[in-house]
């Protein structure tokens, strides 16, 4: 571990110097940040009741344990599908009722926090909002679990300081997510920063999750990056899955079809065993 520096004082509550033991988070019997690798999976966006229910039943039939799905979608173009809003949250809650799977979904602004918190188990802060400080303070004022994604143009230290805002506001249930950063490379959507996994595990006690889907942006390569992230020490993965990716309303190119997801789960289990971490 690095020695205490004035730099780590900027993220003191998140730092391993201030808490040596891993933060372990629990929701509906699912433990995140413990020995077990956690797989969170689901569509980029909730599209309909039928879509999310069918997918939730499929996810439930695998060893994945958290259902993801966006109802409020940050889209680069205002003309792209921006999510079903509260209707989408209701559909997610219904899918949870049916399967028992806890749900993770994005909250985009401070005024949305009470609404999204009322339906979800884990509040996702997206890459584009990593330094939305009023939003960090607003989720920090709740006792909801937060999945904080690294901004595509942000350093590891900036991610830790963003987490610090949430911790400093009184919410200790925070996990971090590496989802790819912007580099000069254009063959892939972003560049997955594999370095971030061991570095974060060293610098902070907070659970570290990898999102290979948004990092690479192409379903063909998602599993390779997911496997690498687990081998590198991630506590879990967040993966986009769709029953029919070519029909997805967002991020279809990077969404795994059910068969590909099953193959990934088989590989994840093998790698987890190889590093003494059950699935
Ligand atoms: C998402 O999870 O669908 C998403 C928009 O992620 P990110 O914020 O990492 O782009
Ligand atoms: Mn997406």
Residue with tokens 């999310």: 52
Q: Quick check: helix, strand or coil at residue 146?
A: strand
Residue pair 212/239 in contact by the 8 Å Cβ criterion: yes
Mutate which of 67, 70, 249 for ligand 1? The one with the most ligand atoms within 8 Å of its CB, which is 70
What is d(CA 2, CA 125) in angstroms, rounded to the nearest whole number? 28
pLDDT in tens, the chain (279 residues): 455 677 789 999 999 999 999 999 999 999 999 999 999 999 999 999 999 999 999 999 999 999 999 999 999 999 999 999 999 999 999 999 999 999 999 999 999 999 999 999 999 999 999 999 999 999 999 999 999 999 999 999 999 999 999 999 999 999 999 999 999 999 999 999 999 999 999 999 999 999 999 999 999 999 999 999 999 999 999 999 999 999 999 999 999 999 999 999 999 999 999 999 999
Check residue 160 and give its pLDDT. 98
Of 117, 129, 106, 104, residue with least CA distance to 238: 104
Predicted TM-score (pTM) of the model is 0.97
Protein residue with its CA nearest to atom 3 in ligand 1: 44
247 Cα to the center of ligand 1, angstroms: 18
CB 190 within 8 A of CB 152: yes
For the CA of 44, the nearest atom of ligand 1: 3
């Amino acid at each position: 571990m690095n020695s205490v520096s004035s730099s780590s004082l900027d993220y003191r509550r998140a730092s391993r110097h201030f808490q040596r033991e891993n933060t372990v988070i629990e929701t509906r019997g699912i433990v995140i940040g413990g020995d077990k690798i956690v797989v969170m999976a689901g569509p980029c966006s909730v599209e309909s009741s039928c879509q999310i229910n069918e997918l939730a039943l499929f996810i439930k039939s695998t060893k994945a344990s958290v259902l993801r799905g966006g109802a409020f979608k940050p889209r680069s173009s205002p003309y792209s599908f921006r999510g079903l809003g509260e209707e989408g949250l209701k559909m997610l809650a219904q899918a949870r009722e049916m399967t028992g799977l806890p749900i993770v979904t994005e909250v985009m602004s401070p005024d949305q926090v009470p609404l999204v918190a009322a339906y979800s188990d884990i509040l996702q802060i997206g890459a584009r909002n990593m330094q939305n400080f009023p939003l960090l303070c607003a989720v920090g004022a709740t006792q909801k679990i937060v999945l904080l994604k690294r901004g595509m143009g942000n350093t590891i230290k900036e991610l830790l300081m963003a987490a610090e805002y949430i911790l400093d506001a009184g919410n200790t249930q925070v996990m971090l997510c590496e989802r790819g950063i912007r580099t000069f490379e254009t063959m892939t959507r972003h560049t997955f920063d594999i370095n971030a996994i061991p570095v974060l595990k060293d610098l902070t006690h907070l659970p570290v999750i990898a999102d290979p889907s948004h990092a690479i942006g192409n379903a063909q390569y998602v599993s390779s990056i997911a496997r690498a992230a687990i081998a590198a020490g991630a506590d879990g993965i967040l993966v986009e899955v769709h029953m029919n990716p070519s029909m997805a309303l967002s991020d279809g190119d990077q969404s795994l079809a059910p068969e590909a997801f099953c193959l990934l789960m088989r590989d994840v289990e093998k790698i987890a065993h190889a590093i003494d971490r059950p699935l």
